[in-house]
Amino acid sequence: MSASPIPTYVVTGTLGVGKTTAIARAFAGKPEHERWVVILNEFTDTGIDVLTVAGQARGEFDVRLVPGGCLCCASELDFTRTLRELVRGPRPARLFVEPSGIGHPAAIVEELLTHQSHGSVRLESIVCLVDPGRLHAVREPGVARDQAEVADALVLAKADLATDATRAEFAALAGDFYPPKRWVGECAHGDLPPPALAPPGPRAPFAVLPPRPTEHAHEHATAVGEGSAAASAEAPGPALALPGIGAERRIARHVGREAGAWVFERRVGFSRPALVRTLERDARLAPVERLKGVFRTGSEHWALVQVADGRVSVAESSWRRDSRVEVLLRPGARADWPAWDALWESVTDVATPR
């Protein structure tokens, strides 16, 4: 019988945000009979973070130190070798990975997801801790933004030091990410809430792109005045499997709006040039108010693509879980969703590694 995959967690964030403290607190509460392992990436080999975890862990545990500024760069071979050793066994009951605060986490996630495809690990959650004093760093392009983009859960760290204004700013910032975060919350003294570590499941929650607030109020009032059934939201319909394009599609309706969403298997790749050309010219986009998606456009490249007011914008994305897109139609418009399925199939890239 093959060994079970190792439940794995990545805790990322900028320098000094409290990643090691959070992991140490988790180890302090682990079952004594379970062997947990953490791979720590420190800038030097002094091992201070190792001592932090070792000082709080109870029962059987192991701390693997990988020195170097970034697990995905100078220390990549050490990380890969350490991971292979753990996979070959005996396997731990839990594995935590802490990249350096100056390290880009995307390549680490890629490595873990490769092992997941082979059945040796199961990536449960990618948690990004955000420093309340450095929200600006997450808003701007750079490592902090990349760390937040790749995460499943976004957590305001050191919440006991945050003001109400900071909390509101963090909530607004978290709401701007696409794909939407599975969980957004806060922690104090390194105590990560259990939902932050909960797995996202085979498909992340469906979220319809909402209309702009002023338009929503107007349409809602109109719908109520007319006694329309559109006045109340409908839950997204059941997922329709589309094995031909390796995706699932859902449709949702709310206050006179219709939206479609697709989640593609991670193996599916897209041609960025073909995608952009199609979104710029295809007549199927005529009734679209907004489109937002993240697409795998190469073995290690992902793009955030948006369409608003007829304009297409493309930016690099650190998201790594899957490709997905949501399409919000103009009020009263209806779409030929099977035609949209064909649109996505037309821009898949067979050259992308599957």
Per-residue pLDDT of 301-346, as tens digits, reads: 999 999 988 889 999 999 999 999 999 999 999 899 999 999 999 9
Per-residue pLDDT of 170-202, as tens digits, reads: 999 999 999 999 999 999 999 999 999 998 765
Contacts 24+ apart (CB under 8 A), 80-87: 80/111, 82/39, 83/39, 83/111, 83/112, 83/115, 83/121, 86/6, 86/37, 87/6, 87/115, 87/120, 87/121
Q: What is the pLDDT of residue 219?
A: 40
Q: What is the pLDDT of residue 308?
A: 87
| Residue 224, helix vs strand vs coil | helix
Q: Which of 197, 226, 247 is the last residue of a domain?
A: 197
Of 322, 199, 317, 203, which Cα lies nearest the Cα of 267? 322
Q: Does position 169 have pLDDT exceeding 90, yes or no?
A: yes
Judgement on whether residues 111 and 135 belong to the same structural domain of the protein:
yes
Integer Cα distance of 158 and 189 in angstroms: 6
Judgement on whether residues 54 and 187 belong to the same structural domain of the protein:
yes
Tokens 């396997």 found at:
91
Least confident of 47-56, 140-149, 156-165, 218-227: 218-227
| Average pLDDT of the residues in 138-144 | 92
Q: Does position 217 have pLDDT exceeding 80, yes or no?
A: no
Judgement on whether residues 289 and 259 belong to the same structural domain of the protein:
yes
Assigned domain for 354 exists? no
Residues contacting 177, CB < 8 A, separation 6+: 148, 149, 154
Assigned domain for 156 exists? yes
Assigned domain for 203 exists? no
Judgement on whether residues 78 and 109 belong to the same structural domain of the protein:
yes
Judgement on whether residues 236 and 147 belong to the same structural domain of the protein:
no
Q: What is the CATH number of the domain that holds 271?
A: 3.30.1220
Which of 233 and 243 is assigned the larger pLDDT? 243
**Residues 18, 10 contacting (CB under 8 angstroms):** no
| Average pLDDT of the residues in 110-133 | 93
Range of the domain at 90: 6-197
Q: What is the pLDDT of residue 227?
A: 36
Q: Which of 165, 197, 229 is the last residue of a domain?
A: 197
Assigned domain for 168 exists? yes
Q: Does position 354 have pLDDT exceeding 50, yes or no?
A: no
Which of 72 and 143 is assigned the larger pLDDT? 143
Q: What is the pLDDT of residue 226?
A: 35
Q: What is the CATH number of the domain that holds 65?
A: 3.40.50.300
Assigned domain for 352 exists? no
Assigned domain for 310 exists? yes
Judgement on whether residues 182 and 224 belong to the same structural domain of the protein:
no
Identify the bridge partners of residue 290 per DSSP, sorted by sequence position.
308, 328
Q: What is the pLDDT of residue 147?
A: 94
Judgement on whether residues 16 and 114 belong to the same structural domain of the protein:
yes
Q: Which of 171, 197, 223 is the last residue of a domain?
A: 197
Q: Encoding tokens for residue 264?
A: 């593609």
Integer Cα distance of 7 and 33 in angstroms: 16
Assigned domain for 342 exists? yes
| Average pLDDT of the residues in 213-242 | 50
Judgement on whether residues 106 and 179 belong to the same structural domain of the protein:
yes
Q: What percent of the chain has pLDDT over 70?
A: 79
Least confident of 123-132, 278-287, 340-349: 278-287
Judgement on whether residues 161 and 97 belong to the same structural domain of the protein:
yes
- Provide the mean pLDDT of the chain: 82
Tokens 């091992």 found at:
47
Kindly list the distances between the CA atom of residue 23 and the CA atoms of 49, 50, 158, 200, 213, in Å, as whole numbers in the listed order.
10, 11, 14, 20, 39
Which of 190 and 55 is assigned the larger pLDDT? 190
| Average pLDDT of the residues in 283-293 | 90
Which of 43 and 251 is assigned the larger pLDDT? 251
Judgement on whether residues 185 and 262 belong to the same structural domain of the protein:
no
**Residues 102, 74 contacting (CB under 8 angstroms):** no
Q: How many domains does the chain have?
A: 2
| Average pLDDT of the residues in 2-12 | 91
Judgement on whether residues 184 and 35 belong to the same structural domain of the protein:
yes
Assigned domain for 165 exists? yes
Q: What single-letter amino acid sits at 352?
A: T
Judgement on whether residues 131 and 44 belong to the same structural domain of the protein:
yes
Per-residue pLDDT of 58-96, as tens digits, reads: 567 788 877 655 555 545 677 888 889 999 978 999 999
Beta strands 183-186 and 121-130, pairing class: unpaired
